[in-house]
């Protein structure tokens, strides 16, 4: 096999693992509940085999394998590591209902897979000494261990950004609903029905938890902890304080909505002020050299040509 084939196999394997395990953009609905509703709507009776075969290939093959390995590794993993990983998965929206032990298994799989691929490629090429091959393999193992963690951190950042951008619009809708005579719970339900984003899904989860018997106060606090966004934390604190003091919720929503719009405008202005600084590097090192080549290139070639002709005639 050629080195190009090894490179293609490595890229395909990494992309396959990332796509199969990190389907990060998922619906917040419980997959089991959704599947139960789908089969309950059917008129004919389906067998267990049909239900299992209807599951995606990753859910039938990779997920059970990861679960079994994680159940073994969780006994030897420090509790602090499990807690920090669980917290990070919670902030990321709990992708694919992954547990902390499952995520640790995924990191181990990435580490072994990437290290093995790099070692095999270097061995097949035979262009490096053993020490250098081991060094490259160690670097690939470190990259494979931290790559899932970096992907998860980027998920957390994207989710927080989406929540911050959507919060003013959600508060505007809730203010309109409350002014129209709906309760605060009904306003949250309207937000969940209108949009499909992390913030709307969190409001829907709060409604679902209250239907199961949890108090609204505790449900909102849990929602604030799951998102860890300062704007959401201040909004939840204001709502809980208004609920405790008996203040009208419509007035609180209107004030919070105005504050969130002001903060969003301030963040946009701050990013606009940072744009020239961020554009400096690509302009100096990428755009300007290209312009100089286009403008001065013909003149330079003309000068070289004239010098060569002068030397020949002289």
- The pLDDT-based confidence of 246 (bands split at 50, 70, 90) is confident
Orientation angle between helical segments 184-194 and 198-211, nearest 10 degrees:
130
Give long-range contacts, CB 8 A cutoff, 24+ apart: 248-255. Answer: 249/178, 249/184, 250/175, 250/178, 250/179, 253/171, 253/174, 253/175, 253/178, 253/187, 254/175
Average pLDDT of the chain is 79
Cβ-based neighbour number of residue 231 at 10 Å: 19
- The pLDDT-based confidence of 112 (bands split at 50, 70, 90) is confident
pLDDT of 261-275, one tens digit each?
898 888 888 888 888
DSSP character at residue 248: -
The answer to whether residues 125 and 2 touch, using CB atoms and an 8 Å cutoff, is: no
The CA–CA distances, whole Å, from 134 to 115, 142, 229, 284 equal 9, 12, 43, 38
Domain annotation for the chain: domains and CATH numbers? 3-156 (no CATH), 162-265 (1.20.81)
Higher-confidence position of 214 and 62: 214
Residues in CB range of 164: below 8 A, 6 or more apart = 229, 231, 264, 267
- Of 173-187, 237-251, 300-314, the range with the lowest mean pLDDT is 300-314
pLDDT of 151-191, one tens digit each?
999 999 999 999 999 999 999 999 999 988 888 899 999 99
- Taking the mean position of all CA atoms in its chain, how far away is CA 122? 33
The answer to whether residues 95 and 124 touch, using CB atoms and an 8 Å cutoff, is: no
Q: Quote the pTM value.
A: 0.69
């Amino acid at each position: 096999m050629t080195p190009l084939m090894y490179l293609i196999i490595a890229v395909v394997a990494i992309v396959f693992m990332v796509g199969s395990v990190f389907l990060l953009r998922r619906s917040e609905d419980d997959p089991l509940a959704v599947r139960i509703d789908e089969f309950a709507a059917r008129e004919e009776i389906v067998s267990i085999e049909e239900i299992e075969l209807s599951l995606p290939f990753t859910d039938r093959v990779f997920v059970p394998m990861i679960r079994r390995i994680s159940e073994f590794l969780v006994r030897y993993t420090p509790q602090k590591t499990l807690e920090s990983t669980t917290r990070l998965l919670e902030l990321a929206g709990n992708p694919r209902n992954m547990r902390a032990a499952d995520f640790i298994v995924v990191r181990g799989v990435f580490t072994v897979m990437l290290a093995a691929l790099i070692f095999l490629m270097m061995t097949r090429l035979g262009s490096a000494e053993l020490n250098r091959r081991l060094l490259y393999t160690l670097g690939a193992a470190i990259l494979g261990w931290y790559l899932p963690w970096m992907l998860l951190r980027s998920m957390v950042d994207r989710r927080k950004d989406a929540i911050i951008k959507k919060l003013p619009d959600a508060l505007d809708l809730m203010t309109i609903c409350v002014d129209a005579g709906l309760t605060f719970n009904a306003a949250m339900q309207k937000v969940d029905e209108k949009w499909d984003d992390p913030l709307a899904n969190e409001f829907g989860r709060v409604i679902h938890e209250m239907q199961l018997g949890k108090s609204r106060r505790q449900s909102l606090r849990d929602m604030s902890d799951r998102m860890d966004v300062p704007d959401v934390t201040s909004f939840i604190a204001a709502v809980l304080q208004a609920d405790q003091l008996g203040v009208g919720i419509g007035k609180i929503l209107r004030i919070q909505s105005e504050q969130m719009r002001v903060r969003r405008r301030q963040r946009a202005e701050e990013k606009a002020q940072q744009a020239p600084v961020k554009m400096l590097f690509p302009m100096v090192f990428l755009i300007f050299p290209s312009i100089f080549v286009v403008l001065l290139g013909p003149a330079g070639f003309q000068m070289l040509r004239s010098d060569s002709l002068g030397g020949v005639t002289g």
